Amino acid sequence: MIKTSEKFRINSPKVVHEIIDGEVVIVNLDKGDYYSLVKAGADIWEWLTRGISSSDILEDMVQRYDTSRENIEKTVNDLIEKLQSEELIIIDRTDESKTSNITNVPTETNSNTEKLSFETPTLQKYTDMEELLALDPIHEVDEMGWPNAKQEV
């Protein structure tokens, strides 16, 4: 079980990430695996990278998404555990007495704000580049370059 006060950080330098159109793409450079998170999963990832504690993430998710607190708590804990098991994040053990520029996630919701539909986040894992290579039209390039019609022998 995750301690609610725990904060995490990216397992740098072996893990890099980028957010592209609301999707988080994460690469474990040591293992060669890459991952994808969208929607609620992307939100959780962003908050983790900003050093937001798991309890603050839980509170913001409860305010933001239309589902039970129990469901959100289970979801957040499950995703954090999965990210840890894949060695993408680690517990931030920096000296807690240090002052930090990190502030809690502002939760500005009022009773008229409609909550977002909740979908359980899934960490999509890709272990090879086979699919991407199949999309690449340049399979064999010689000194003549590409595009180039193959010469019949």
CB distance 15 to 26 below 8 Å = yes
pLDDT tens profile 42-92: 999 999 999 999 899 999 999 999 999 999 999 999 999 999 999 999 998
Residue 5: CA count within 13 A, CB half-sphere: 2
What pLDDT is stored for residue 93 in this prediction?
A: 80
pLDDT(32) > 70: yes
CA distance 82 to 78: 6
Torsion of CA 29, 34, 39, 41, to 10 degrees: -60
What's the mean pLDDT in 92-96? 70
Query: Is the pTM of the predicted complex or chain greater than 0.85?
Result: no
CA distance 83 to 123: 8
pLDDT tens profile 113-143: 789 999 999 999 988 755 554 555 544 555 6
What pLDDT is stored for residue 152 in this prediction?
A: 61
